[in-house]
Amino acid sequence: MKKIYNGMPDAGTAINDNFNEVVSKTGDETISGSKTFEELHFSGDIPKRSLTPKTGFANGSSWYRVKNGMLQISCTGLSITAKVPAGAWKDVCSLPGADSINSTGDATTVIMNANNTSYTGARVRVVDGVLRILPETA
């Protein structure tokens, strides 16, 4: 940024140059160099919402949210009330108000029994706002 002072011979050019160095609030532009941002908030954030269980599942205190553009899902208390066959994707619950959310790949999770004494691994994905699992074994 150039300092502008009274009587400056090329003040108009300096002011224009200064405006070109300022980041705009709207429009597309490229910003270079190292920057640090704190307390970022994204307009697409979704506050915590309860998950809605699908047939064969019951909800405890499970929830999801989108914070700073990142989908976070907590399945604490989500329980299986029916047999989940291995080798087939199973719809677990829906994310209310988020039917446009899709994961870009699969994650891995662990499914525990009620006593936390037995578990099985599973792949997890979100498709059109629905959380799905693919258990490794029955």
Q: Give the C-alpha separation, 86 to 101, whole Å.
A: 25
User: Angle at Cα 101 formed by Cα 113 and Cα 51, nearest 5°?
Assistant: 40
Give the CATH number, domain containing residue 123. 2.60.40.2460
3-state secondary structure (DSSP) of residue 18: helix
Residue 29 covered by a domain: no
> What is the overall mean pLDDT for the chain?
85
- pLDDT tops 90 at residue 64: yes
- pLDDT tops 70 at residue 137: no
| Surface-to-core class of residue 3, CB atoms within 10 Å of its CB (0-12 exposed, 13-18 middle, 19+ buried) | exposed
Domain total in the chain: 1
pTM of the model: 0.62
Q: Give the C-alpha separation, 136 to 32, whole Å.
A: 46
Residue 103 covered by a domain: yes
Give the rounded percent of residues in the chain with a pLDDT score beyond 90: 20
Domain residue limits at 118: 46-135
Residue 10 covered by a domain: no
